[in-house]
Copies of this chain bind each other. A is one copy, B any other.
Amino acid sequence: MNKQATLEEAIAQIRDGASIMVGGFGSPGTPFCLIEELIRQGQTGLTLIKNDANEQSIGISRLIENGQVKKLISTHIGLNKKVVGMMNDGSLEVAFFPQGILAEKIRTTGAGSFGFLTDIGLHSEITDPKDVIVWQGREVKIEPALYADVALIHAHTADHFGNLTYQATAMNFCPLMAMAADTVIAETSNVVTPGAIQPEAVHTPSAFVTSVVAVDTDRPEYGLMEGRYER
């Protein structure tokens, strides 16, 4: 039940061609250390699922720039000119979903369901008419659940069993991805003994987590980015 693992052995669970959900909305919640190890180990042909592409030269942008990524499933990559360029020149396949629909598609897998019925973007170009059904007298779109082999997430605190808490906006997609993926690897700089996290304070229960990796968050990516705060 002790799920502590080294960075190396945790990331070694990932195969070439794997689909990987990566937590984070911008930097908060992005597991930078797990990503660096994935770059070091060099798995290729990956499909990444993340809200955004991080910014140029950090986070999953480094995986993409490094040629390890075949496809990106995302909601918005506007802050990353490099990845937009790779999308436009065809060197990276990209699929977009509305942000809350991406979140819900992930959670739907996490809840053991196969899809959900929505009216978001029903009459827009994002909807393929073959996904539209008339049901109880109403046109609705079936959104399939989105699955991944692996989830990589950043937690504020983790106990040995894999109970996780998140800080502020670093929560975002992390709890959903933890529910959805088969193998869930959580990095944290605060590993605590079971019982140190109050049961009511747990954001992700241990049953969803495969490996807990203790990391140093000294890397600059975990710190403040210049120009994003008031002087």
Contact = CB atoms under 8 A, between A and B. Distances in A.
Interface centre among A108, A145, A199, A200 (most CB of B within 10 A): A200
B119 A111 contact: no
A111 B117 contact: no
A104 interface: yes
A133 B136 CA distance: 13
Q: Is the interface of A mostly helix, strand, loop or mixed?
A: mixed
B117 A135 contact: no
B168 A200 contact: yes
A215 interface: no
Interface in A113-129: 113-119
B144 A115 contact: no
Interface centre among A108, A138, A165 (most CB of B within 10 A): A108
Complex copy number for this chain: 2
A144 B165 CA distance: 32
Contacts of A168: 199-200
Contacts of A118: 112-114
Given A165-B200, A166-B200, A114 B142 contact: no
Interface residues of A, number: 28
B119 A114 contact: yes
A190 to B, nearest CB: 13
A160 B116 CA distance: 34
Interface string A89-127: 000000000000000100010011111111100000000
A200 to B, nearest CB: 7
23 contacts: A104-B113, A108-B116, A111-B116, A112-B118, A113-B116, A114-B117, A114-B118, A114-B119, A114-B135, A114-B138, A115-B116, A115-B140, A116-B117, A117-B142, A117-B145, A135-B142, A165-B200, A166-B200, A167-B200, A168-B199, A168-B200, A171-B200, A200-B203
